[in-house]
């Protein structure tokens, strides 16, 4: 007979997992929620904090991009402009990515009508930039990225175990908190029903964010979907060879998820009379060619740095159906790649839709509000969970629920194997937790006096 009571071994085991998972993930879920809530309003916040940089001061027609680059070169002698983000709307400035001769990379803002440099900042030293990087990696690089991924996956375990703990048993069915309760019971009710009514939103937020994780996204989902022809367009595979492995991420620093691992073509390969020492068509000609292929504004353009590099441009609108990527031969101007959303595989499309909603972009302000509500719900769950723990904690120890009996081996093996397949980092961490708990249980048994 299944163990469904609130006092049985299974209930107690899942309560212990919920407890430990909550303590471990609490600070990270709090960080993810706060930084995510900030980034939801990245454009609004940047406009508020940096209006002098984000808005053009002239309404004159836009000058060719080469004028903007020349202005940045004059402002930072010895520096290199690697990327140009076109104005996203009339009255907006252009943003240039500058690698100065000394110091951190800059984002410089230029009035497109006058080519006057309006100013610059180091992205990670801004509120939005800090929130963006901290959200993904805790400012710790790959190690921080792995920690965030583990915490997010354990968030799924928290949701699953939390729903099991709440599940009505017998005549205990209740669908709303009792606000008349006091003390720890009041916080427990708020915690339970906040989790109940936001569980699906939180699960969506976690699953739609995981494709950006370095292990689950970069080493599992992307390679598998690309190999199956469900990621980036299959016709891009011929760009790949042993001597050239660059991607959009290498040249632009970012890319649509669908194209992150798609290899870039080479300049000169399709026209034998052009080679790496030939004459570059120039950024103005590249911009004109892009316009003839339907890309005339609000795109991000990488500038060739090495001999075989291409001009790569892509749009990233609020709705991914409008994504468009073009690669141009830097010597001939030939279009070497023209990819639209319709060319993506099924998994890539699903991820792009999920990411757009995750970031609050897809359906405007309402999308932002729903995702903000989800972030606030996670914050509420963390705070109420910590309050409950603080009020019941003993003077010594953590106050974890007592283990009544070791979990069934078949259950543990099945859960661990499932986690390892679906979420490798989380599965590995679960295996470590189970090994440590088994070792501690043996130590406790040996320490008990025998009759």
**How many helices (H) does the chain have, and how many strands (E)?**
14, 8
Specify the higher pLDDT residue, 413 or 77. 77
* Cα→Cα distances 281→11, 301, 330, Å: 68, 14, 6
Backbone angles phi, psi at 283, to 5 degrees: -65, -30
Contact assessment for residue 115 and residue 284, using Cβ atoms and an 8 Å cutoff:
no
Confidence (pLDDT) at 363:
95
**pTM surpassing 0.85?**
yes
d(CA 293, CA 346): 25
| 8 A C-beta contact, residue 123 and residue 129 | yes
What pLDDT score was predicted for residue 273? 46
pLDDT of residue 129: 97
Distance separating alpha carbons of residues 345 and 371, to the nearest angstrom: 26
**Residues 185-238: tens digit of each pLDDT:** 899 899 999 999 999 999 999 999 999 999 999 999 999 999 999 999 988 876
Q: Which two tokens stand for residue 111?
A: 């009035």
pLDDT digits (tens, 9 = 90+) for 241-278: 545 578 888 888 889 999 999 999 989 865 544 444 47
N- to C-terminal Cα separation, the chain? 33
- Collapsing DSSP states into helix, strand and coil, what is residue 438? helix
Q: What's the rounded mean pLDDT across residues 390-397?
A: 76
For domain 55-125, give the fold.
Answer: SHC Adaptor Protein (3.30.505)
What does the CA dihedral 400, 406, 411, 417 come to, rounded to 10 degrees? 70
Cβ contact 302:295 at 8 Å: no
**Domain boundaries along the sequence of the chain:** 1-50+136-231+364-405, 55-125, 232-344
Which pLDDT score is estimated for 391?
83
Exposed/middle/buried for residue 1 (C-beta within 10 Å: 0-12, 13-18, 19+):
exposed
Place of tokens 């309003």: 41
Q: What is the structure's pLDDT at 244?
A: 55
For residue 226, count other CB atoms closer than 10 A to its CB. Answer: 22
Structure tokens at 58: 């002239």
Provide the 10 A C-beta neighbour count for residue 22. Answer: 23
Whole-number pLDDT of residue 436: 77
Q: Which of 171, 260, 168 has the alpha carbon at shortest distance from 212?
A: 260
The DSSP annotation for 332-367 comes to: T--EEEEEEGGGS-HHHHHHHHHHHHHTT-TTHHHH
């Amino acid at each position: 007979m299944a163990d469904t009571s609130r006092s049985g071994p299974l209930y107690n085991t899942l309560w212990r997992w919920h407890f430990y998972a909550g303590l471990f993930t609490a600070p990270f879920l709090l960080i993810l929620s706060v930084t995510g809530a900030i980034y939801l309003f990245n454009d609004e916040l940047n406009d508020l904090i940096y209006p002098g940089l984000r808005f053009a001061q002239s309404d004159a027609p836009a000058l060719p991009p080469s004028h903007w680059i020349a202005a940045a070169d004059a402002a930072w002698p010895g520096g290199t402009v690697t990327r140009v983000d076109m104005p996203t709307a009339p009255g907006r400035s252009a943003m240039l990515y500058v690698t100065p001769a000394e110091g951190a990379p800059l984002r410089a803002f230029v009035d497109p009508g006058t080519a006057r440099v309006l100013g610059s900042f180091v992205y990670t030293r801004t509120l939005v930039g800090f929130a963006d990087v901290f959200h993904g990696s805790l400012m710790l690089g790959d190690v921080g990225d792995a920690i965030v991924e583990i915490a997010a996956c354990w968030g799924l375990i928290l949701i699953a175990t939390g729903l099991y703990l709440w599940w009505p048993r017998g005549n205990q069915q209740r669908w709303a908190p009792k606000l008349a309760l006091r003390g720890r019971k009041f916080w427990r009710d708020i915690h339970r029903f906040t989790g109940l009514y936001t569980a699906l939103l939180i699960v969506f937020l976690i699953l739609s964010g995981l494709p950006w994780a370095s292990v689950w996204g970069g080493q599992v989902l992307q390679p598998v979907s690309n190999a199956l022809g469900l990621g980036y367009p299959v016709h891009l595979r011929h760009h790949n060879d042993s001597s050239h492995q660059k991607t959009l991420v290498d040249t632009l620093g970012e890319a649509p998820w669908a194209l992150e691992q798609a290899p870039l073509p080479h300049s000169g390969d399709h026209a034998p009379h052009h080679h790496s020492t030939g004459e570059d068509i120039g950024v103005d000609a590249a911009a004109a060619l892009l316009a003839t292929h339907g890309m005339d504004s609000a795109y991000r353009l990488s500038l060739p740095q090495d001999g075989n590099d291409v001009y790569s441009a892509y749009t990233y609108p609020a709705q991914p159906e409008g994504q468009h990527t073009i690669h141009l031969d830097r010597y001939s101007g030939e279009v070497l790649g023209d990819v639209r959303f319709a060319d993506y595989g099924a998994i890539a499309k699903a991820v792009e839709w999920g990411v757009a909603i995750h970031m609050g972009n897809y359906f405007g302000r309402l999308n932002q509000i729903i995702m903000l509500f989800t972030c606030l719900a996670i914050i509420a769950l963390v705070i109420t969970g910590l309050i409950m723990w603080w009020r019941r904690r003993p003077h010594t120890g953590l106050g974890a629920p007592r283990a009544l009996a070791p979990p069934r081996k078949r259950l543990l093996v099945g859960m661990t194997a499932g986690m390892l397949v679906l979420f490798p980092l989380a599965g590995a961490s679960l295996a470590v937790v189970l090994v440590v708990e088994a070792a501690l249980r043996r130590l406790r048994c040996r320490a008990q006096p025998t009759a």
